[in-house]
Amino acid sequence: MLTAFANAFKTPDLRRKLLFVLMIIVIFRAGSQIPAPGVDVANVQACLNQAENSQGIYNLINLFSGGALLQLTIFALGIMPYITASIILQLLVVVIPRLEALKKEGQAGQTKITQYTRYLTLGLALLQATGIVALAQSGNLLQNCPEPLLFSNSLGTFVVMVVTMTAGTAVIMWLGEQITERGVGNGMSILIFTQVVATFPIALWQVGQTQGWWTFGIVIAVGMVVVAAVIFIEQAQRRIPVQYARRMVGRKMFGGSSTYIPLKVNQAGIIPVIFASSLLYLPAMAVQFNQGNDDPPGYINWISAHFVNGDHPYYMATYFALIIFFTYFYVSITFNPKEVADNMKKYGGFIPGIRAGKPTEDYLSYVLSRITLPGAIYLGLISLIPLIAIVLIEANQNFPFGGTSILIMVGVALDTVKQIESQLQQRNYEGFLR
């Protein structure tokens, strides 16, 4: 990885692209530290310093915002509205025939879907900003915080903050698209990577301060093992060989080549973890909405005892089971064996030893179902690491080595390095003739 970056900085055009990406990252992080108009920064910091506020129902959103959400900055919403909009559009493509037709139109259709994603992102950002500012005004955003987070609870302050945070999301989208067009790698992924990495030093420092430096060293060692395991699994794939028969078109011969279909062990990425985490926020939200009730229903007390704190066995078991379910669900809607088999048959492709058509579809379904199980178990185990750390070393839910944070870091880093190496090969390849 370091060699790839060193060689990239030696190439003038790649160096310009990398410096452009670094400039966008600096702008992005600066916006994540600028408070929105009307925010009482001193009171917010005082409330965040309380130990009980290190955990809450906003941990996933706060993670994707690099801690900017609970600080009520202009980039408080971070990348989360765009992630949610992208997932919704990806699911709707399977359900709505019009979107499915657009997807099959190639670049023009994908451009239209991207436009829909932008509109949906702004709509979701408006809703989320309204909810966050309303919670800040009512004092429910940070638990057990007696100090007001805003200088004023007037309607004008409310509107200005909502507009500012929504505009901040629009700016983040634009920054991500600029990285994709003029930099290296996927812009949105790099911005997510930046926000997740921003929480690492603080989380590691808290482990050293609260648990001692011997524990800190053990955490670093275990973290390196986890990173190595994640890299190994993320790159693991089952390659299904495909042979294309020769065919005559006019006076030219086409086909006759061999290739393969790569089926990754972790075919679903981090989407199942996001789905499971979001679903488990619902019980915590139900408990929070009943905090002012002196005599809450019995089921609220049961939920509060078993599903609010992540260190409870019921929570862990449910979390693990939801990740397994959503992994199979997401893989089933994103990889269609019937469509792949039909395309192979259409262009004269076949899997050696397997007949084209329905037998190919059944074979792909069989392999996919078998390879998805270890991928689902892997996602579940990695996601449980922060929860287990809470029990063993009394860490908080921002424990760095595990869960969505480590999956995002490793996945984006691997993808970016592969793109850099690909561009280096294009520039340094000389061929047979000089």
pLDDT of residue 217: 84
Give the DSSP letter string of 73-117. Answer: BTTTTTTHHHHHHHHHHHHHHHH-HHHHHHHHTTHHHHHHHHHHH
CA atoms of 255 and 257, how far apart (whole Å): 5
Shared domain for 175 and 235, answered yes or no, is no
pLDDT value at 372 more than 60: yes
Range in 88-102, 218-232, 306-320 with the lowest mean pLDDT = 306-320
Shared domain for 293 and 174, answered yes or no, is no
Query: Which residue range is the domain that position 255 belongs to?
Result: 199-434
Shared domain for 217 and 87, answered yes or no, is no
Pick from 134, 162, 196: which residue ends a domain?
Answer: 196
In a domain, 295, yes or no: yes
In a domain, 7, yes or no: no
In a domain, 291, yes or no: yes
In a domain, 5, yes or no: no
168 touches 35 (CB < 8 A): no
Pick from 150, 179, 196: which residue ends a domain?
Answer: 196
Cα dihedral 270/275/280/284 (nearest 10)? 100
Shared domain for 98 and 205, answered yes or no, is no
3-state secondary structure at position 357: coil
Query: What's the order of all strands across the beta sheet hosting 349-350?
Result: 258-264, 237-244, 349-350
Number of folded domains in the chain? 2
Shared domain for 58 and 157, answered yes or no, is yes
Shared domain for 204 and 180, answered yes or no, is no
pLDDT value at 364 more than 80: yes
CATH number at residue 323: 1.10.3370.10
CA atoms of 271 and 308, how far apart (whole Å): 22
CA distances to 48, 63, 356 from 44, rounded to whole Å, are 6, 17, 63
Q: What is the pLDDT of residues 253-273, one digit of tens each?
A: 665 678 888 899 988 888 888
Q: For residue 251, what pLDDT band results from cuts at 50, 70 and 90?
A: low
Q: How confident is the model over 155-183, as a mean pLDDT?
A: 91
pLDDT value at 429 more than 70: no
Give the number of other Cβ atoms within 10 Å of residue 339's Cβ. Answer: 11
Shared domain for 97 and 145, answered yes or no, is yes
Q: For residue 205, what pLDDT band results from cuts at 50, 70 and 90?
A: confident
CA atoms of 400 and 406, how far apart (whole Å): 7
Of the ranges 174-183, 192-201, 339-348, the best mean pLDDT one: 174-183
Shared domain for 228 and 184, answered yes or no, is no
Q: Which two structure tokens, joined as six digits, stand for 293?
A: 């009730």
In a domain, 2, yes or no: no
Q: What is the pLDDT of residues 321-333, one digit of tens each?
A: 999 999 999 898 8
- The mean pLDDT of the chain is 81
Shared domain for 250 and 177, answered yes or no, is no
In a domain, 9, yes or no: no
CA atoms of 381 and 360, how far apart (whole Å): 32
Range in 112-126, 318-332, 387-401 with the lowest mean pLDDT = 387-401
pLDDT value at 113 more than 60: yes
Give the DSSP letter string of 151-199. Answer: S---HHHHHHHHHHHHHHHHHHHHHHHHHHHHSSS-HHHHHHHHHHHHT
350 touches 360 (CB < 8 A): yes
Shared domain for 152 and 268, answered yes or no, is no
Give the number of other Cβ atoms within 10 Å of residue 374's Cβ. Answer: 13
Q: What is the pLDDT of residues 39-82, one digit of tens each?
A: 888 888 777 766 444 445 556 666 666 667 777 889 888 888 88
Q: Which two structure tokens, joined as six digits, stand for 339?
A: 């469509």
Q: For residue 373, what pLDDT band results from cuts at 50, 70 and 90?
A: very high
pLDDT value at 391 more than 80: no
198 touches 395 (CB < 8 A): no
pLDDT of residue 67: 66
In angstroms, how far is CA 367 from the centroid of its own chain?
26
